[in-house]
Amino acid sequence: MKPSLTVVLVVFGMMTTPYSLSAAEGDVGRGQRVYGACAACHSLEPNRNMTGPSLAELWNRTAGGLASFRRYSPALKSSRIIWEDRTLDEWLKNPQQFIPGNQMTFPGLKNEQQRADLVAFLKVATQPGHPLSTQGQSRGGMGMMGGGEAPNLKKIDPKIEVSAITLCQDTYRVTTADGNTREFWERNLRFKTDSSDDGPAPGRPAILRAGMMGDRAAVIFALPNEISAFIAHKC
């Protein structure tokens, strides 16, 4: 028996259902909470790059195409992918499968609803001039590294501005501008540089909690040559 025209049209319609209708319905509020896990590496502010590139104005941008971010992998730059609902969902599901050889360490978000929620949030929050964001990391005390936006270190609290560092055998002693001194086993203290607009002023490094196992804190300098010059060997 030949299928009726109605059946044929229904089947064809199911096969050609737009992505936005066949995927899970996304919720912006839930997506904002999911984005909290992304905020340690990706800012929503234009050209404020962190470990990863800024996500501002992401929609319809070519993968690897943000000029202010210089650390894209060759795989991403040569992929010719355009970021929109479908491609972003595939990327979030399994970055290495979608673009093999890229340097994204995120293993993927397997939950379809969470991906839909995150895509819905990003589609709104990355639009030019949109006020929705997850900014608001505290800039006082020893701010957390790896948990939210990196703080601007040009104007810093005396509690985190480093005034002296001494090394005695296996122990660093870090003194901050408020007069306090903290001791760190040499393998628990990391030295980093940040030459961006958010980095510390030359000669005024800052100490932040590392927020990871092993490292207890990180001292951030403006330039590499400041590191050895700043540390005094003294017992």
d(CA 51, CA 71): 9
Domain limit, last residue, from 125, 153, 180 = 125
| Chain segment 76-122, per-residue pLDDT in tens | 999 999 999 999 999 999 999 999 999 888 899 999 999 999 999 99
pLDDT at 134: 46
What's the structural domain count of the chain? Answer: 2
Q: DSSP for 109-137?
A: ---HHHHHHHHHHHHHHTSTT--------
SS3 of residue 219 by DSSP:
strand
Residue 169 lies in a domain: yes
CA distances 154 to 117, 165, 195, 203, 218, Å, are: 35, 20, 11, 11, 16
Counting beta carbons within 10 angstroms of the beta carbon of residue 189, is it exposed (0 to 12), middle (13 to 18) or buried (19 or more)? Answer: buried
pLDDT-based confidence at 70, cuts 50/70/90?
A: confident
* 59 plus 105 within the same structural domain: yes
Domain limit, last residue, from 108, 125, 142 = 125
* 84 plus 29 within the same structural domain: yes
Contact 163, 175 (CB under 8 A): yes
- The mean pLDDT value for 21-34 works out to 82
* 87 plus 176 within the same structural domain: no
d(CA 160, CA 178): 8
CATH number of the domain where residue 33 is located = 1.10.760.10
pLDDT at 132: 67
Q: Which domain holds residue 193?
A: 162-233
| Chain segment 35-47, per-residue pLDDT in tens | 998 988 899 999 8
Residue 172 lies in a domain: yes
Residue 143 lies in a domain: no
Residue 141 lies in a domain: no
* 105 plus 187 within the same structural domain: no
Residue 8 lies in a domain: no
pLDDT at 136: 38
Which residues have a Cβ under 8 Å from the Cβ of 209 and sit 6 or more positions away?
142, 143, 144, 145, 216, 217, 218
Residue 154 lies in a domain: no
* 121 plus 168 within the same structural domain: no
Task: Pull the structure tokens for residue 159.
Answer: 């509690």
* 27 plus 100 within the same structural domain: yes
* 113 plus 178 within the same structural domain: no
Mean of per-residue pLDDT scores for the chain: 84
| Residue 22 scores a pLDDT above 90 | no
pLDDT-based confidence at 74, cuts 50/70/90?
A: very high
pLDDT at 197: 86
pTM over 0.85: no
Contact 123, 31 (CB under 8 A): no
SS3 of residue 207 by DSSP:
strand
* 28 plus 91 within the same structural domain: yes
| Chain segment 165-222, per-residue pLDDT in tens | 999 999 999 999 999 999 999 989 999 999 988 899 999 999 998 765 556 899 999 9
Residue 148 lies in a domain: no
Q: How many residues does the chain have?
A: 235
pLDDT at 196: 87
pLDDT-based confidence at 155, cuts 50/70/90?
A: confident
Residue 132 lies in a domain: no
**What is the rounded (10 degree) CA torsion for 17, 62, 99, 18?**
0
